[in-house]
Amino acid sequence: MRPATLLRRCALILLASLPLASLPAEAEVAEPPGLWTGPMVGETPATLNGATVIDVPTLEGMLEGPVLLIDVGKAARRPDNLPEDTLWKPVHRSIPGAAWFPGGGAGDLPPEQARALLGRIDELAKGDKDAVLVTFCKPNCWGSWNLGKRLVEAGYRQVHWLPAGIDGWQELHDAVPVQPQPGWPPEGE
Amino acid sequence: MGMNQNRRMACAGLVLAPLLAIAGPVLAAGGTDQEREERWQDLRQSIFGERPVEDGVGLITLEAPARALDAALVPLTIRIAPEQRDRVAAVHLVIDDNPSPYAARASFGPAGDPAVLRLRVRIDGYTNVHAVAETKDGRLFGTAAFVKASGGCSAPIGVSDEVAMQGMGEMKLRPGGPDTHGEATLLIRHPNFSGMQMNQLTRTYTPARYLDLVRISQGDQTVLELAGDISLASDPAIGFAYRPGEADAFTVLATDSDGGSWQESFPIPANTQ
């Protein structure tokens, strides 16, 4: 967000925060009926039907037991026309122990990718539909909402969504470099 | 966290930034020190080969916000200690966790003064930023700052590509203020497309197009030659210092990665020395 925009928005919010202000508060984003296929970066709903929305302190408590952390943050894409001699060393930092499926949060994954994603998660969860799952990416990222939705629809009963994402985690904790899950994305893509 | 809350936090940041910079949780280099140091050593090897980077205390400093208000526009100031200025030939800027980490190299000519260099950069994640001074005899002295920023390299520019490219190559030169005597800021209109910015509606990436060289001269003497990369923010602002010279104008040559080339001259701000 550019500073001018930010300032304008701040001005609006400050106005909206005044008790007597007549400006309406920003409308809540409603949950879409299915997976979200619109722009992947933007305001997300406050809820995810069938899943639990958590913050970082709640996650800290949960991490005392077994938790499957699933990161669907995007991988950095090397620009096609970047000169060959440009130093290119992308690193993806995540919550320690997280399984990373770059781009796995798309709402319109081809069926074979969706199958591969759920298949790998089933492996990691050892086939247990009561496994504790946490999905995340960055703030304002529909990807982790979508994956949460996908997992609920796949029958998992303990799906958690961390909207604060990796940024929220990094406020207080280490984030470590991770590699994409083996076999992801499946060949042919 | 909803966007709303984010904005409020960003707003609080605008007001509280100076306090937060001091009072925020201090995680030395963001936590995983050893792994971050390994990454830096790997980058150092790629950029400088076998040359070690020595501790730059007393020679070079890097001023950076602890938390970026806008990850696509993070102001950085690199300073060289006055008594060390004549030793320094170049300054390198490395943003460790950016996908393209080697953000800029500034070489100083006879009319240049390494005392201060100000740049605005894109920062992609919570990362160390290294500034490295290179002396005329080839030694390297470094310093680092940890910056909390997110997504600066892929942040959309906020307007259409066409609008962002309007007036590309136009330049302005701002003289320094009373406290920054002998300094000036060069502003160049250029989107500096990173190649990582996606148009959310068409889902296509705008190809990279960035300033790869900016040379500022006084007459036939070079002040500064800046080699840039996709990590420089759009509409680059380059703050630099210079030595009084014979010529009465700066000449600026800027070229970009698409073969664009622009040249301008500016009268040198009145010298009060």
DSSP string, B67-132: B-SSTTSEEEEEEE-GGGGGGEEEEEEEETTSSS-EEEEEEE-TTEEEEEEEEEE---SSEEEEEE
Q: Which of B43, B124, B205 sits opposite A77 (nearest CB)?
A: B205
Residue with tokens 């929305």: A53
Establish if A80 touches chain B: CB-CB under 8 angstroms. yes
**Cβ pairs A/B, distance under 8 A:** 131
Which chain B positions have a beta carbon within 8 Å of A167's beta carbon? 150
Which range is least confidently modeled, A10-19, A28-37, A44-53, A115-124? Answer: A10-19
pLDDT reading at A11 higher than 60: no
Q: Which of A26, A80, A82 sits opposite B4 (nearest CB)?
A: A26
Question: Band of the pLDDT at A3, cuts 50, 70, 90?
Answer: very low
CATH code: domain of residue A52: 3.40.250.10
Angle between helix axes A111-124 and A142-153 (nearest 10 degrees) is 80
Residues 104-133 of B with CB under 8 A from A: 124-126
Query: Does residue A167 lie within any of the structural domains?
Result: yes
Which chain A positions have a beta carbon within 8 Å of B6's beta carbon? 139-140
Residues 99-128 of A with CB under 8 A from B: none
Q: What is the pLDDT of residues A67-83, one digit of tens each?
A: 999 999 999 999 999 99
Cβ <8 Å between A91 and B31:
no
Cβ <8 Å between A79 and B151:
no
Query: Does residue A122 lie within any of the structural domains?
Result: yes
Q: What is the reported pLDDT for B236?
A: 95
Q: Which of A7, A79, A168 sits opposite B195 (nearest CB)?
A: A79
Cβ <8 Å between A40 and B200:
yes
Query: Does residue A28 lie within any of the structural domains?
Result: no
Give A171→chain B minimum CA distance, Å: 8
User: Is pTM beyond 0.90 here?
Assistant: no
Residues 20-59 of A with CB under 8 A from B: 25-26, 29, 39-44, 46, 55
Query: Does residue A165 lie within any of the structural domains?
Result: yes
The domain in which residue A168 lies consists of 48-75+90-181
Cβ <8 Å between B7 and A13:
yes
Question: Band of the pLDDT at A188, cuts 50, 70, 90?
Answer: low
Establish if A167 touches chain B: CB-CB under 8 angstroms. yes
Provide the edge-to-edge strand list for the sheet that holds A99-100: A52-53, A159-161, A133-136, A68-71, A99-100
Give B193→chain A minimum CA distance, Å: 10
Q: What is the reported pLDDT for B271?
A: 54
Contacts of B35 (CB under 8 A, 6+ apart): A176, A177
Query: Does residue A80 lie within any of the structural domains?
Result: no
Q: What is the pLDDT along chain B (273 residues), one digit of tens a residue?
A: 344 444 444 434 343 333 333 323 333 344 478 999 999 999 999 999 999 999 999 999 999 999 999 999 999 999 999 999 999 999 999 999 999 999 999 999 999 999 999 999 999 999 999 999 999 999 999 999 999 999 899 888 878 888 889 999 999 999 887 677 789 999 999 999 999 998 777 778 999 999 999 999 999 999 999 999 999 999 999 999 999 877 889 999 999 999 999 999 999 887 544
Query: Does residue A56 lie within any of the structural domains?
Result: yes
Establish if B46 touches chain A: CB-CB under 8 angstroms. yes
Q: What is the reported pLDDT for A28?
A: 85
Helix, strand or coil, per DSSP, at residue A171: coil
- Whole-number Å distance between alpha carbons of B271 and A134: 62
CA angle B183, B185, B188 (to 5 degrees): 155
Query: Does residue A63 lie within any of the structural domains?
Result: yes
For A24, A32, A67, A120, A135, the CA distances from A47, given in Å and listed in that order, are 21, 11, 21, 26, 13
Which chain A positions have a beta carbon within 8 Å of B70's beta carbon? 1-3, 6
Which chain A positions have a beta carbon within 8 Å of B148's beta carbon? 170
Query: Does residue A37 lie within any of the structural domains?
Result: no
pLDDT reading at A104 higher than 60: yes
In chain A, the number of structural domains is 1
Establish if B135 touches chain A: CB-CB under 8 angstroms. no
**B134, B140 contact by CB (below 8 A):** yes
Q: Which of A80, A83, A139 sits opposite B6 (nearest CB)?
A: A139
In chain A, the residue whose alpha carbon lies closest to the alpha carbon of B44 is A87
Q: What is the reported pLDDT for B35?
A: 92
**A149, A161 contact by CB (below 8 A):** no
DSSP string, B151-202: STTT---SS-HHHHHTTTT-EEEEE--GGGTTEEEEEE----B-S--EETTT
Residues 234-273 of B with CB under 8 A from A: 257
Cβ <8 Å between B32 and A176:
yes
